[in-house]
Amino acid sequence: MFEMSDYQDAVDYIYQKTNKRPKVGLVLGSGLGVLADEMVDAVHLPFKDIPHFVKPTAEGHKGELVVGKLNGVEVVLLNGRYHYYEGYRLDEITFPIRVMKLMGVEKVILTNACGAINTSFKPGDLMVITDHVNLTGNNPLIGKNISEFGPRFPDATEIYSKRMREVALRVGSELGISLQQGVYAWWTGPMYETPAEIKMIRVLGGDAVGMSTVPEAIVAAHAGIEVLGISCLTNMASGILPRKLSHQEVLDVASDVRESFGKLVQSIVAKI
């Protein structure tokens, strides 16, 4: 388990490289790293160089922290993330979120590429996350609580900010980008779900399923950071269509929607 001093080590290193103090954080999912290239006056810091960060192994995740301006707003951006299936502890997966908190981040946008369970959705849709279902049997807050970040028993009534969801929907309407809304189910991976498991998740109320985001959202909400989650629905989940799933399909569809995704997130950043 990390101590408060470990998080401060990482912040001190970042502050050696930049004097920017962003209030907005971004986490980019598989194939969605295009926004890192849109930043200006940017400082790029590889995860491997930041104390206590580890290098992501997932394809489509570059593994760098970027501090700069996006659409005129100072942001800190994670171009890539860690996943449970990579073998990392949950405190390692969520370490960057707490570093953002110590940097002064007050709002975070978490993005991901995931599979659609709701059959009214289609690949290429963007979904605003309204809530989540944790199917992993684990939680990043298990263990010693660091009270400087938040309480031992945090409320989970509104992990995904209603105010920020409304901003996202309004921005989508202004840009002519249709946004779905739904519940995101967190699956450990790396194996995709079986058709029977997808049926179970649908019964439990899941509209989409993926292998990330939820631990970051829990830790961010625990620390008092306002959270917005946006999923890029890259495929229909297992058993819905008569074909097998592949990670290449995820990357291809994410690439196809990166322009509209980029416009949406940049506009949201300016509004929040």
Q: Pick the catalytic residue: 112, 212, 238, 267?
A: 212
Active-site hit among 64, 83, 127, 231: 83
For residue 38, indicate whether it is catalytic: no
211 is catalytic: yes
User: Which of these is catalytic: 85, 158, 200, 249?
Assistant: 85
Burial of 59 per CB tally in 10 Å (0-12, 13-18, 19+): exposed
Q: Which of 74, 86, 193, 216 is catalytic?
A: 86
Catalytic residue among 247, 249, 255, 260: 247
Verify whether residue 19 is a known catalytic residue: no
Kindly report the backbone phi and psi dihedral angles of residue 188, in degrees, each rounded to the nearest multiple of 5, phi listed first: -65, -40
Of these residues, 103, 113, 116, 185, which one is catalytic?
113
Closest CA to 160 of 185, 130, 135: 130
Question: Which entry of 112, 231, 235, 238 is annotated as an active-site residue?
Answer: 235
Does residue 246 carry a catalytic annotation? no
| Rounded-to-5 percentages of helix, strand, coil across the chain | 35, 25, 40
Active-site entry in 36, 211, 217, 236: 211
- Our answer to whether residue 86 is catalytic in this structure is yes
Distance CA 40, CA 36 (A): 9
Annotated catalytic residue 132: no
Catalytic, 235? Answer yes
- Give catalytic status of residue 44 as yes or no: no
Q: How far is residue 20's CA from residue 27's CA, in Å, rounded to a whole number?
A: 18
Active site residue 83: yes
Known catalytic residues are 30, 61, 83, 85-86, 113, 211-212, 235, 247
